[in-house]
Amino acid sequence: MSQNVEQSYKTLMLIWFALLASQIMFLVVIFFAKPEVFRFDFGKPLFGENAVMVLAFAALAITNFALSFIMKKRAFDQAIEKQEISYVQTGLILACAFCESISLLGMVLAFAFSYQYFFLWFALGILGILLHFPRRDDVIAASYKK
What are the pLDDT digits (tens) for 41-90? 777 777 778 889 999 999 999 999 999 999 999 999 999 999 999 999 99
Q: Is residue 146 part of a domain?
A: no
Question: What does the alpha-carbon distance between residue 33 and residue 113 come to, in Å, rounded to a whole number?
Answer: 14
How many domains, the chain?
1
Q: Is residue 126 part of a domain?
A: yes
What are the pLDDT digits (tens) for 78-135? 999 999 999 999 999 999 999 999 999 999 999 999 898 999 999 999 999 999 999 9
Q: Is residue 95 part of a domain?
A: yes
The whole domain housing 104 covers 2-141
Q: Is residue 37 part of a domain?
A: yes
Q: Choose among 44, 43, 49, 97: nearest CA to 69.
A: 97
Q: Is residue 15 part of a domain?
A: yes
Q: Choose among 73, 75, 122: nearest CA to 99.
A: 122
